[in-house]
Amino acid sequence: MFLGIDIGTGSIKILLMNRSGEIQAVHSQTYRCSTPQRGHAEMDPEIWWQSLKMVLQQVPQDLKDQVEAVGFSGQMHGLVLTRADGTAAHPAVLWLDQRSTAELQDYPEDAAERLLNPLSVGMLGPSLLWMVKHRLEAVEQADFAFLPKDHLRYRMGGDACTDPSDSTGTLLAKPDGNWNMGLIHALGLPERLFPEVRPSAAVGGHLSEWAAQELGLPAGIPLAVGAGDTPCAALGSGLLQAGQTQLTTGSGAQLVTLTSSKPNFDPALNAYRATSDHWYVMAAMQNAGVALEWVRSSLSLDWTEAYDLAFQQETSVVFLPHLIGERTPLMDPKARGAWLNLEPGTSRGELMRAALEGVAFSIRNGLEALQKSHEVKHLRLAGGGSGDSRWQQLLADVLQVPLNPVSALHSSGKGAAMLAAAALGHPFERWIKQEDTPEVIPRGDVYQHKFEKFREAHERLKGWFF
């Protein structure tokens, strides 16, 4: 039995998979990040630990006793300053944090091209720079600058290490995944904080006696290093062939194209190392589930009501979903959300419909940026936020490419479990089942006019955001 742990932005999920690749159990626990002031997004790592204990308590002990190895999937880019004893010296600074805008100016002029990534707030590098300037005491107390999954693995008894998929997303690593010590020194960051980089499927330590008692798992089992949630989702859903592109919707939305050659720099796209012979190019939109969940909650709807009301009628309302700034293609941390074209009779259903359309338009912006350098004839569709068939059709109509919804659920957790198996030498390719649902075909470019209004609205409001 292999255990996959997925540390998401809004929840932690665990998945148990047997040696035949069959999922035996899936459980999750939600939580909320803290916003102590505008532009800040933090999380007490103790919440991850207590949430992990809670979800594992839901798993029968006889299943937990069979676990042979643990793998990890984690929200990317965040910074967890961690002491040698596994405690955090400061709340984790998450990927959606906006505080480090000024720190981007500290990077050398050619840094983005050398890193193959545009300079963006919320990445570990700028966040650590901000901490050095404003929370130096916490930095001095810390022994490691971890990403979320690496902090949790270390607390479970693992080694101080990370993997290339996460290191290349920090704005502090070379395209091969190894730390760029020249840049780290140039920025004045403490070299001692950066852990070893190992392959995602390598053994990254073993479960300690203390953690085993806390979690109800066998002591001493291997802990795979793991990977970021985006590559784990790609692995778990079967994105293994170079040239394939997948749209994953969760808190954010990611368009991922797998490539077997080192990609060129694009100021609107991210490029991360996946394995020793694969990279992936990503258009990352920060506001998908983040925006939709805010709208649904603000309108006091459950998700069934939200979808039903949204698809009862069309609307002329336009929604900008950029609640926490935006990456691809805007690269604008100051972008904010807005509803436009409201009338006294505008209904909750229209507001929800406009929110779905706005997220879809934002994804189309990202797709067009990706299509400038990569041919995309169809998209695999994955993620917990993509299950409703009406939403799938809207996406296909807006994006103007056929969609192949991937039937495999819980793909990030499954990918983490597959890495756990790989750490013990089990070939996981045989567990990939290409069982896609029927293709969703666009019904003509019925949203072109409204999409143009969406883009025009952002341009007109850009100087107004503050």
Q: Which residue has the tokens 């899936």?
A: 26
CA distance linking residue 320 with residue 301, whole number of Å: 20
CA distance linking residue 412 with residue 230, whole number of Å: 7
Q: What is the pLDDT of residue 452?
A: 93
Q: And the tokens for 326? A: 């935006």
**Domain boundaries defined on the chain:** 2-231, 239-407+436-466
Q: And the tokens for 437? A: 């649902």
Question: What are the φ/ψ torsions at residue 183 (nearest 5 degrees)?
Answer: -70, -40
Q: Are 151 and 195 in contact (CB under 8 A)?
A: no
Preceding peptide of 329 cis, ω within 30°: yes
CA distances from 161 to 141, 150, 186, 408 (A): 19, 7, 22, 30
User: How far, in whole angstroms, is CA 202 from its chain's centroid?
Assistant: 21
Q: What is the pLDDT of residue 408?
A: 62
Superfamily for the 239-407+436-466 domain? ATPase, nucleotide binding domain (3.30.420.40)
Q: And the tokens for 284? A: 């990352």
CB atoms within 10 A of CB 223: 28
Angle between helices 348-371 and 389-399 (to 10 degrees): 50
Contacts of 37 (CB under 8 A, 6+ apart): none
Comparing C-alpha atoms, which of 236, 283, 237, 249 is closest to residue 437? 237
CA distance linking residue 117 with residue 122, whole number of Å: 13
| Residues facing residue 323 across a β-bridge | 325
CA distance linking residue 366 with residue 328, whole number of Å: 5
Sheet strands (E) in 18-160:
23-30, 42-43, 69-74, 80-82, 92-93, 144-146
Task: Dump the DSSP string for 330-364.
Answer: T-BTT---EEES--TT--HHHHHHHHHHHHHHHHH
CA distance linking residue 356 with residue 28, whole number of Å: 25
**pTM score, whole prediction:** 0.85
- Low-confidence residues in the chain, pLDDT < 50: none
pLDDT in tens, 156-174: 999 999 999 999 999 999 9
pLDDT in tens, 63-122: 999 999 999 999 999 999 999 999 999 999 999 898 999 999 999 999 999 999 999 999
Tell me which CATH code domain 2-231 carries.
3.30.420.40
CA distances from 132 to 112, 140, 375 (A): 21, 9, 42
Burial of 409 (0-12, 13-18, 19+ CB in 10 A): middle
CB atoms within 10 A of CB 362: 28
Show the DSSP H helices in 116-160 as ranges. 124-134, 136-141, 148-155
Q: What is the pLDDT of residue 227?
A: 94
**DSSP H helix total and E strand total for the chain:** 16, 21
Q: Are 403 and 379 in contact (CB under 8 A)?
A: yes
Comparing C-alpha atoms, which of 208, 209, 246 is closest to residue 230? 246
Comparing C-alpha atoms, which of 240, 232, 244, 277 is closest to residue 370? 244
Task: Taking the CA atoms of 411, 412, 417 and 421 in sequence, report the sign of the dihedral they define.
Answer: positive
